[in-house]
Amino acid sequence: MRLQHSLIAQWLAMSLLFGFILFLYYHQDVAAYRYKQTHASTGEIPPHHPAGEITSSFVIEQPLLLKDTDLQGRDLNQPFCVSLLMANYMNRRNQGEFSVSLRIAERSQSQRLQARKINDNAWEFVCFDEFRLADVLGQPALLTVGGVDGQPGRSVTAWLTPATRTDAQATLNGKRTDQQLLFSTHVRIHAVPHMVNGYVLMTLAAMIMAALTLGACHARPTREAPPG
């Protein structure tokens, strides 16, 4: 009985360990279920380079003109979001805040993000609850990324890629460039059931991995019978 209890305790402990590892690797993918892209994507990332540290003096203004969308129906009335490909310089300890703002005509909304929470080479989702997708369609908009109190050597960066159109060229610290921010557009949807399913699958996978590992550790080689 003690052996049985010991095995159960080991299995639970290993399940927690594997579950934690899977959570670290896949929780961003599960969280992404909350967002639906406005256009179908191949998933390919074009050539890109860092825009520079988003310090207190940094400002990049990105024109945004969303002419159409693959979404329809009630998705048009969901909050509008963008995802920015960002980097934290190989997971160094960054500090301070920066802002991401959206402006359409006289309307604007700004969100503040903490540099220490930005992952390296990962998509950072920013939503603007005051704008629905229908508000953005066909309207010239301006997406702005600006530093708040970031310091050199302790700030994150966004990625730039060659602009696909002249009207998409970004302005970096007041100077027009031939580059644009590497970003995509989304809406935020109610995706709790999908997220729950994702976490349930991770839990089951962790339990199975723990059982297989524990079984392998406690397996004993079969001894051959001595010759008669």
pLDDT 10s digits, 183-218: 999 999 875 665 666 677 778 887 888 788 877 887
Query: CB pairs under 8 A, 24+ apart, for 174-178?
Result: 174/59
Query: Considering only the top CATH level, what class is 36-190?
Result: mainly beta
Q: Is residue 83 pLDDT above 60, yes or no?
A: yes
For residue range 12-33, list pLDDT tens digits in order.
887 888 777 766 666 666 566 6
Sorted by sequence, the CB contacts under 8 Å of residue 151 that are 6+ apart come out as 55, 56, 95, 96
Q: Is residue 178 pLDDT above 90, yes or no?
A: yes
Residue 27 pLDDT: 60
Spell out the domain ranges in the chain.
36-190
Residue 212 pLDDT: 84
Q: Quote the CA–CA distance of 126 and 107 in Å, as a whole number.
A: 17
- Output helix, strand, coil percentages for the chain, rounded to the nearest 5: 35, 30, 35
Residue 191 pLDDT: 57
User: Considering the chain, what is the average pLDDT of its residues?
Assistant: 88
Alpha helices (H) along the chain: 2-31, 133-136, 192-218
Q: Nearest-5° angle of CA 185, CA 199, CA 85?
A: 25
Q: Tell me the pLDDT band of 75, cut-offs 50, 70 and 90.
A: very high
Residue 205 pLDDT: 84
Q: Quote the CA–CA distance of 9 and 126 in Å, as a whole number.
A: 42
Q: How far is CA 38 from CA 31, 82, 111, 143, 225, in A?
A: 17, 10, 21, 16, 68
Residue 92 pLDDT: 95
For residue range 101-143, list pLDDT tens digits in order.
999 999 999 999 999 999 999 999 999 999 999 999 999 999 9
Q: What percent of the chain is predicted at pLDDT more than 90? A: 64
**Which residues is 49 bridged to in the sheet?**
160
Residue 1 pLDDT: 58
Judge whether 100 and 113 are in contact, CB under 8 Å.
Answer: yes
